[in-house]
Amino acid sequence: MLLEMKDAVLSYGKIEALHGISLEVAEGEIVALIGANGAGKTSTMRGLSGVRGLASGSVVFDGEDVTKLRADQRLRKGLVLCPEGRGIFPGMTVTENLNMGAYTRKDKEAIEQDYERVFGLFPRLLERKKQVAGTMSGGEQQMLAIGRALMSRPKLLMLDEPSMGLAPMLIQQIFDIISEIAQQGTTILVVEQNAKQALSRADRAYVLETGHIVKSGTGVELLDDPTVREAYLGVA
Amino acid sequence: MSQILDAYRGLKLRDRMSGAPGWVRKVGMLLVIAFAFYLPFLNILPFAYIRTDLTSSGSDWASVLFLVVVYMIVAVGLNVVIGFAGLLDLGYVGFYALGAYSVALFGSPSSPVVEAIQNRFGLDETWAVPFVMCIPIAIVMALIAGVTLGAPTLRLRGDYLAIVTLGFGEIIRITARNLDNVTNGATGISGVPVPPGPEIDGRSFFNTIDAERWYWLALSILILIIFLAFRLEHSRVGRAWLAIREDEDAAAIMGVAAFKFKLWAFAIGASVGGIAGLLFGSKQQYVEPNAFMVNLSFLFVAMVVIGGSGNIYGVLLGAFLLTYLPERFREFQEWRPFAFGVALVVVMILRPQGLVPSRRRAREFEDRKVEAEEAAADA
């Protein structure tokens, strides 16, 4: 397993957001985590990326226990989070944001290649190279956030709600790009409210409800599951 | 309306400056520096009206200039903490006091510390640590204080950090007042050493009368510190600070060790504050706890915020205005605090990002405003 989270408990003060979550991601997979608002999706991401420490439980990445490591240390191991919404640096330009993605790297030539890769995936960012990120549209900011995460050469890319606040056509486009990134050899864990897109792209998926994992299976299985269909796909 | 004016005035001069060829900028910079060095002798009408000693009750012009430059050093140092790293430090006077007390405690032959060393090693009564050695002592003392204060407190954010640092500034002053057998308590320490220099007319080069020499010394140090601050801003460390300031979580996610860099900002800011305090104490040749009241911390923060947090030119302007104007208008005595208060409120309403804002900071302001509006709309 590339990533293994075991019995993770995460709390904010007295409020427990995750009550013992276990999940796994194997190398080369696309794994989706779906759930409604407040189910604990973003909390799971915070616990995995190290933005917030776990109260108990463990995170093992690439055969190494990273539970006690801070977010910046986990990034250096290749465990990279692309945060939701406005997780970009609003006062920096597109280029400066991408530079921040490569902050820990020193291999200049490989960084150049990664710029080209990112601009290849998101031609829009190339057009807006010098634009201040905070002034871009929601979709462009999302592309930038993904591009920035790619600049740190992740082994596992965790995407937190990449479709949030985007128009349906853009959602389609973003998910196409996510599939493409996966094909290029990056393992992906994606957290989504848009269950239909996420499940149809994922190899496997977990369903999160109020801090518990209530179901897991392959993407296709869950797409056909009657309770999932009712709760998340809006079909009775 | 005010925003349109901002966009027009604030950006225009800067664009023209950055658009000019390199040599024009260099020559312009040299002219500004030369003029700054000439300032104590400024006597050409109508420019001489900026002098503060036109009336008999006015303060010595060169001494005012010295104080302005010392506070400019403070502002540049505090700007590293507030402007670059985005940490609100309300106890900066503590580091300033530490710098002044370091040179007094180790450099003055009559300080209890020096007397203890004299007795211990059987040294002469006039012996004290030479001034040049006091400089690294002051810097290291302030640096250690910065790290000691920062290490436990930098995990706090925003308002909490501000309150803790506010307490720190007071702790330093109260300790200095109460630690009688180390600092002479409220009596203070006299005989603080001055920098070495050739004797002229039977007086040492740096004395209490020829304030312009102190001004030139402080100005030279200020220029050096400004240069270093610019280098720092555009270094890897500067980029880390910028990222932390904009979004600490996002910075951590991108591999920036946030805590480490915040501690760096604190330590660097502290040592610059220490240097400013050292200059101040040395020129006064006398150090006492009441010179480091908490209101000085507020003045320092006001300089940075009014001038334009994050912009080195801005904070220089802020330090200049808040030091110079009260001295220039001494005859209005009791009206000055009132005018200061009104000016502060007016600036915060019309230009919350400061008189010469950093472009980035202005953008962050915009972004936060949009975010707040969205949040309000959601609710």
pLDDT tens, position by position, B136-160: 999 999 999 999 999 998 888 778 9
Is B40 within the bounds of a domain? no
One domain for residues A194 and A221: yes
Q: Which residue has the tokens 């220099």?
A: B197
Distance from C-alpha of A115 to C-alpha of A95, rounded to nearest angstrom? 9
Is A179 within the bounds of a domain? no
Distance from C-alpha of A23 to C-alpha of A47, rounded to nearest angstrom? 12
One domain for residues A68 and A123: no
CATH number at residue A11: 3.40.50.300
The mean per-residue pLDDT over the stretch A6-13 comes to 93
Residue A8 reports pLDDT greater than 70: yes
Is B205 within the bounds of a domain? yes
One domain for residues A94 and A61: no
Is B47 within the bounds of a domain? no
- B258 to chain A: nearest residue by CA? A72
Count of beta carbons in the 10 Å neighbourhood of residue B202: 5
- Residue B53, Cβ density class (10 Å: 0-12 exposed, 13-18 middle, ≥19 buried): middle
Distance from C-alpha of B152 to C-alpha of A108, rounded to nearest angstrom? 36
Answer whether A80 sits within 8 Å of B253, measured CB to CB: yes
One domain for residues A73 and A61: yes
Please state whether the peptide bond connecting residue B46 to the residue before it is cis, i.e. omega within 30 degrees of 0: yes
**Is the predicted ipTM greater than 0.85, yes or no?**
yes
Query: Which pLDDT belongs to residue A188?
Result: 96
- How many domains would you assign to chain B? 1
Q: Is A88 in the B-facing interface, judged by CB distances under 8 Å?
A: yes
Please state, for a pLDDT cut of 90, what percent of chain A lies above it. 68
Domain extent at residue A7 = 1-78+156-162+187-235
Domain extent at residue B169 = 57-293
Q: Is B243 in the A-facing interface, judged by CB distances under 8 Å?
A: yes
pLDDT band at residue A213 under the 50/70/90 scheme: very high
| Disruptive mutation site among B246, B254, B263, B369 for chain A (greatest number of A CBs within 10 Å) | B254
Is B334 within the bounds of a domain? no
In this prediction the pTM is: 0.87
- List, for chain B, all residue ranges whose pLDDT scores fall below the cut of 50: 1, 8
Q: Is A53 in the B-facing interface, judged by CB distances under 8 Å?
A: no
Query: Which pLDDT belongs to residue A4?
Result: 94
Distance from C-alpha of B291 to C-alpha of A200, rounded to nearest angstrom? 70
One domain for residues A55 and A93: no
> Looking at chain B from residue 115 to 134, which residues have their Cβ under 8 Å from any Cβ of chain A?
none
Is B304 within the bounds of a domain? no
Least confident of A92-96, A112-116, A231-235, B59-63: A231-235
One domain for residues A7 and A42: yes
Q: Which residue has the tokens 């024009």?
A: B24
Answer whether A91 sits within 8 Å of B255, measured CB to CB: no
To the nearest 10°, report the CA torsion of B165, B168, B170, B173.
Answer: -140
Q: What tokens were used for A208?
A: 């999160």
One domain for residues A83 and A51: no
The mean per-residue pLDDT over the stretch A145-170 comes to 91
Pairing of strands A156-160, A79-82: parallel
Q: Is B360 in the A-facing interface, judged by CB distances under 8 Å?
A: yes
Is B366 within the bounds of a domain? no
The mean per-residue pLDDT over the stretch A83-95 comes to 86
Query: Which pLDDT belongs to residue B16?
Result: 61
- How many domains would you assign to chain A? 2
Is A169 within the bounds of a domain? no
Residues B104 and B84 sit within 8 Å (Cβ to Cβ): no
Distance from C-alpha of B79 to C-alpha of A27, rounded to nearest angstrom? 46
Q: What is the CA radius of gyration of chain B?
A: 22
Is A64 within the bounds of a domain? yes
The minimum CA-CA distance between A97 and chain B, rounded to whole Å, is: 9
Distance from C-alpha of B73 to C-alpha of B82, rounded to nearest angstrom? 14
